[in-house]
């Protein structure tokens, strides 16, 4: 594929990541009274100027729009050629609100606003309306593969010269009812913590002085019986004429679940002890598109040439030129990312 550079990034997460020059310097510890990690929200009045529009937006829409506008504003071109968004479950709060109104109002005299804003492409549409963008606009809802698919689409847009700059984002929210349902299903029984957030990236086919990193490739897969993740990862690297010796840092998306994190433990036991590793989901929590926070971290690492202590580094880091991210959602959706320093 054609070269793909990360020109700008933006993140709203459970950490102080939005509108700051800091990079995981002051970690926000989890509130013991809350069973999940909630995003730290900015002052939306600074980004969504229309008060009426802002009032009608739900939590996840405001997160996505603010993160997208901040990312676009810091890029050399504020209005991209394409907007691609990804979400695992979409606008859950609006969906719940509409379904509740059906029950309460006995399916009569329903306010359509919650229904209109419950659709998965609402966030991408709102971004386009605010930016007055009439270009390619697509939303991927592939559960644990949503963000990966959006990135692959964006890279194809750049490769095929359909676009020179693509705004790509991943957004997911927590609702109390979603947490209770997933808790009953056993999602958080073995140590994983639920999270939420919105990460956006301005991808460009052109390298600039402000570029963060080069996104080399993205690969998604599901493990078959008795198949090891390191076999897939080695095959992925071999495609780029690389081995694990060429990787300066491996960032792992283990969620803290003692059972579902087995592939990560196996992978760590297979790679050389000389390969440094780091983690990120203890900072953002587990959700369908949490890998986007990991990519945000790596983009910062490569640009700043700094590996924060908050990411639990393991091993000596001599240089930071090539970073591999290995992520998994529920040990079903596995993905690999390869990024390089500019």
Mean per-residue pLDDT of the chain? 94
Q: Going edge to edge, which strands form the sheet with 213-221?
A: 136-140, 82-86, 165-172, 197-204, 5-12, 213-221, 333-340, 322-329, 249-253, 277-279
Are 146 and 258 found together in one domain?
no
Name the domain boundary from 152, 169, 204: 204
> What pLDDT is recorded for position 225?
84
Residue 29: Cβ within 10 Å count: 7
Tally of structural domains, the chain: 2
> What pLDDT is recorded for position 104?
85
Are 107 and 174 found together in one domain?
yes
Range of the domain at 81: 5-204
> What pLDDT is recorded for position 34?
92
Are 274 and 246 found together in one domain?
yes
> What pLDDT is recorded for position 313?
96
Q: Write out pLDDT tens, residues 98-154.
A: 888 888 887 887 778 778 888 899 999 999 999 999 999 999 999 999 999 999 999
Q: Write out pLDDT tens, residues 57-94.
A: 999 999 999 999 999 998 988 899 999 999 999 998 88
**Comparing 85-94, 160-169, 320-329, which segment has the lowest mean pLDDT?**
85-94
246 phi and psi, to 5 degrees?
-85, -5
CATH number assigned to the domain comprising residue 10 = 3.40.47.10
Q: Name the residue among 265, 248, 229 with its Cα closest to residue 315.
A: 248
Q: Are 83 and 135 in contact (CB under 8 A)?
A: yes
Q: Judge residue 342's burial from the number of C-beta atoms within 10 Å of its C-beta, 0-12 exposed, 13-18 middle, 19 or more buried.
A: middle
Are 116 and 219 found together in one domain?
no
> What pLDDT is recorded for position 118?
85
Q: What is the dihedral of CA 65, 55, 286, 11, to 10 degrees?
A: 30
Q: Is the pTM of this model over 0.85?
A: yes
Name the domain boundary from 149, 175, 204: 204
Q: Name the residue among 14, 5, 91 with its Cα closest to residue 281.
A: 14
Are 158 and 218 found together in one domain?
no
47: pLDDT strictly greater than 80? yes
Q: Write out pLDDT tens, residues 258-298.
A: 999 999 999 998 888 889 999 999 999 999 999 999 999 99
> What pLDDT is recorded for position 331?
95
In whole angstroms, how far apart are CA 151 and each of 148, 254, 286? 5, 21, 19
> What pLDDT is recorded for position 115?
81
> What pLDDT is recorded for position 201?
98
Q: Are 195 and 285 in contact (CB under 8 A)?
A: yes
> What pLDDT is recorded for position 153?
98
DSSP 8-state secondary structure symbol assigned to residue 164: S
Are 109 and 153 found together in one domain?
yes
């Amino acid at each position: 594929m054609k070269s793909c550079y990360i020109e700008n990034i933006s993140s709203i997460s459970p950490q102080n990541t939005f509108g700051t020059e800091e990079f995981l310097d002051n970690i926000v510890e989890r509130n013991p009274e809350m069973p999940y990690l909630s995003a730290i929200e900015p002052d939306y009045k600074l980004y969504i100027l229309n008060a009426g529009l802002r009032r009608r937006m739900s939590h996840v829409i405001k997160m996505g729009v603010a993160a997208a506008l901040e990312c676009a504003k810091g890029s050399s071109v504020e209005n991209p050629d394409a907007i691609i968004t990804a979400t695992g479950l979409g606008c859950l709060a609006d969906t719940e609100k509409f379904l509740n109104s059906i029950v309460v109002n006995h399916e009569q005299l329903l306010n359509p606003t919650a229904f209109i804003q419950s659709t998965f492409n609402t966030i991408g549409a709102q971004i386009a309306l605010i930016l007055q963008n009439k270009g390619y606009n697509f939303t991927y809802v592939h559960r644990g593969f949503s963000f990966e698919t959006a990135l692959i689409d964006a890279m194809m847009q750049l490769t095929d010269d359909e676009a020179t700059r693509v705004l790509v984002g991943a957004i997911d929210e927590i609702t109390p009812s979603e947490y209770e349902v997933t808790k009953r299903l056993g999602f958080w029984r073995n140590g994983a913590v639920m999270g939420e957030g919105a990460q956006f990236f301005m991808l460009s086919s052109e390298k600039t002085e402000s570029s963060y990193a080069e996104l080399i490739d993205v690969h998604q897969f599901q493990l078959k019986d008795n198949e090891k993740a390191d076999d897939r990862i080695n095959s992925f690297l071999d495609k780029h004429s690389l081995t694990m010796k060429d990787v300066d840092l491996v960032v792992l998306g283990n969620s803290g679940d003692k059972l579902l994190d087995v592939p990560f433990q196996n992978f760590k036991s297979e790679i050389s002890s000389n390969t440094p590793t780091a983690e990120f989901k203890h900072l953002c929590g587990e959700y369908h598109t949490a890998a986007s926070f990991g990519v945000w971290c790596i983009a910062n690492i490569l640009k700043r040439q700094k590996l924060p202590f908050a990411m639990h580094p393991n091993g000596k880091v001599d240089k930071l030129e090539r970073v591999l991210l290995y992520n998994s959602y529920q040990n079903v959706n596995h993905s690999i990312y390869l990024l390089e320093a500019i």
